Amino acid sequence: MEYILIIISAIFVNNILLSQFLGVCPFLGVSNRVSTAVGMSGAVTFVMAVATLVTYMLQYYILVPLGIEFMQTVTFIVVIASLVQMVEIIMKKLSPALYQALGIFLPLITTNCAVLGVAIIVVSKEFTFGGDPHMLNMAQSVVFATANALGFGLAMIIFAGIREQLELNSVPKPFKGAPIALITAGILALAFMGFAGLV
Amino acid sequence: MSKLKLITKGIIKENPTFVLMLGMCPTLGTTSSAINGLGMGLATTFVLILSNMAISSIAGSIPNKVRIPSYIVVIAAFVTVLQLMMQAYTPELYETLGLFIPLIVVNCIVLGRAEAFASKNSVVDSALDGIGIGLGFTLALTVLGAIRELLGSASFFGIKLIAGDGILVFILAPGAFIALGYLMVIFNKLRS
């Protein structure tokens, strides 16, 4: 039950993009076509789940026992950057087809604040799923990260679909490009607010 | 390029928010009031100036292949300094801005300036560039924060202008997107 609550809350109620503003750069940058949005979401899901698992272990088995939690930002970003590089190399070797599809998005993920954001959230925030406030355990953290990545993907794919249609319409000149995209995202965020109170 | 121009170009011509569209996450996430926007802008400016200076002085000795990871580590170190300082001196602001302070590490503006400017220019020029871009970013965040605060809670820098609530949606997430969108429209119109 708790896992279902985590998943619904992360995908719909507290959507990482539309209510927490993490990962807005790729959201506006690579959401012109549905196919690239799908590729980006796939790469983000994979990296976010693995990165959160690794940073979770880093936090509780290294930083906390040694009493050096203030090194969190530095160690997390180094881990994420090297992880992305490693995923790229492994994927290139094992599955060239997948690499072809996701490869170009991988370097962009290092500076996707959603990945670092989720890694920090799971080790610093208390959640109230099913009772008293508590920190997430390892399995819950990975589920939380995956669900957030899926929420990112959902918002991204819906938005890309809208933008593909938007290109066919005539938009006043000052609204062209980013401004109309932002206003559309605002309306989408309004729609997602309808899920508030679900969990 | 004259020294003064280095500072002023960041404010209008190369404004990181309105023209370059960088660093959107903190721009949207922290501007629910003018004070928060100002605080976030100044925090980013602090990191930007110091990382620009540090990177411009060490850029010559970093091998080309590992330059991006090295830059990120330098930036992360300054962000950690900022985090510890804010926890000590401005704990309230640190609490409100929350997650977005550590996320300065992955702010594309900081890494972008390191790669595009600081690695190729002198320490003094890089510091001035950091000041200029930082000011442009701070200005954009403060303006957006002031507008959202004015519409959303009918106050200006925390001073209540009229009794009662504002249009609540401007404080919430959708309002951030919509306000920034319209602000960009006005900026585009004025520029052309």
B76 located within any domain: yes
Residue B38 clears pLDDT 90, i.e. is over it: yes
Using CA atoms, how far apart are residues B98 and B86, in angstroms rounded to an integer? 11
B16 located within any domain: yes
Determine the residue among B25, B101, B186 to mutate to test chain A binding: the one whose Cβ has the most chain A Cβ atoms within 10 Å: B25
- pLDDT more than 70, % of chain B: 99
Distances from the Cα of B69 to the Cα of A1, A87, A112, A143, angstroms: 41, 16, 14, 28
- Bridge partners of residue A134, in order along the sequence: A127
Nearest to B114 by CA among B77, B167, B157: B77
Asked if B72 reaches chain A (Cβ–Cβ under 8 Å), the answer is yes
B111 located within any domain: yes
| Cβ <8 Å between A24 and B28 | yes
In the chain, the amino acid numbered B151 is L
pLDDT score of A88: 81
Residue given tokens 């550590």 in the structure block: B102
The per-residue pLDDT of chain A, averaged, comes to 84
- Bridge partners of residue B155, in order along the sequence: B160
Residue given tokens 């569209």 in the structure block: B21
Q: What is the ipTM of this complex?
A: 0.84
pLDDT score of B49: 94
Question: Does residue B123 contact residue B56 with C-beta atoms inside 8 Å?
Answer: yes
* DSSP structural state of residue B160: E
pLDDT score of A150: 92
pLDDT score of B131: 92
Q: Where are the domains of chain A?
A: 2-193
- Beta-carbon contacts below 8 Å between A and B: 121
Asked if B185 reaches chain A (Cβ–Cβ under 8 Å), the answer is yes
The per-residue pLDDT of chain B, averaged, comes to 87
Nearest to A22 by CA among A110, A114, A152: A114
pLDDT band at B79 (very low <50, low <70, confident <90, very high): very high
How many Cβ atoms from other residues are within 10 Å of residue A18's Cβ? 28
B98 located within any domain: yes
Q: From the list A72, A74, A113, which residue is nearest B77 (CB)?
A: A74
Question: Does residue A77 contact residue B105 with C-beta atoms inside 8 Å?
Answer: yes
Query: Using one digit for the tens of pLDDT, what is the confidence trace for B134-174?
Result: 999 999 999 999 999 989 888 888 778 777 777 888 888 88
- pLDDT more than 70, % of chain A: 94
Using CA atoms, how far apart are residues B132 and A12, in angstroms rounded to an integer? 39
pLDDT band at A83 (very low <50, low <70, confident <90, very high): confident
What residues in B contact A25, CB-CB < 8 Å? 22-25, 108
What residues in A contact B178, CB-CB < 8 Å? 182-183, 186-187
- Residue A66 makes CB contacts below 8 A (sequence gap 6+) with none
B61 located within any domain: yes
Using CA atoms, how far apart are residues B76 and B66, in angstroms rounded to an integer? 16
pLDDT score of B96: 87
- Bridge partners of residue B156, in order along the sequence: B159
pLDDT score of A7: 87
Owning domain of residue B35: 3-146
Query: Using one digit for the tens of pLDDT, what is the confidence trace for A1-59?
Result: 788 888 888 888 888 888 888 888 778 777 777 887 887 788 888 888 999 999 999 99
B172 located within any domain: no
Nearest to B29 by CA among B106, B96, B105: B96
B167 located within any domain: no
- Residue A79 makes CB contacts below 8 A (sequence gap 6+) with A51, A54, A55, A58
Read off the pLDDT of each residue in A132-156 and give the average, rounded to a whole number: 87
Nearest to A80 by CA among A106, A41, A42, A99: A106
Give chain B's domain count.
1
Query: ∠ CA(B43), CA(B96), CA(B159), 5° rounding?
Result: 95
Asked if B127 reaches chain A (Cβ–Cβ under 8 Å), the answer is no
pLDDT score of A103: 62
- Residue A151 makes CB contacts below 8 A (sequence gap 6+) with A10, A11, A12, A15, A16, A17
pLDDT band at A164 (very low <50, low <70, confident <90, very high): confident
| Cβ <8 Å between B24 and A28 | yes
Alpha helix (H) residue ranges in chain B: 3-8, 24-29, 34-58, 67-89, 91-97, 108-116, 123-153, 173-191
In the chain, the amino acid numbered B183 is L
SS3 A82: helix
pLDDT score of A10: 85
Q: Å from B177 to nearest chain A CA? A: 5
Using CA atoms, how far apart are residues A122 and B131, in angstroms rounded to an integer? 34
In the chain, the amino acid numbered A59 is Q
Please give the residue that has the higher pLDDT: either A150 or B15.
A150
Task: Kindly state the tokens that stand for B26.
Answer: 């903190």
Q: Could you tell me the maximum CA-CA distance found in chain B, to the nearest angstrom?
A: 60
Query: Using one digit for the tens of pLDDT, what is the confidence trace for B92-146?
Result: 989 888 888 988 988 888 888 888 888 888 889 999 999 999 999 999 999 999 9
B65 located within any domain: yes
Q: Å from B33 to nearest chain A CA? A: 16
Read off the pLDDT of each residue in A127-131 and give the average, rounded to a whole number: 68
Nearest to A69 by CA among A80, A83, A81, A55: A55
Question: Does residue B32 contact residue B145 with C-beta atoms inside 8 Å?
Answer: yes
If residue A84 lies in a helix (H) or strand (E), which one and from where to where? helix A72-94
Q: What's the pTM?
A: 0.86
pLDDT score of B41: 93
Using CA atoms, how far apart are residues A73 and A52, in angstroms rounded to an integer? 13
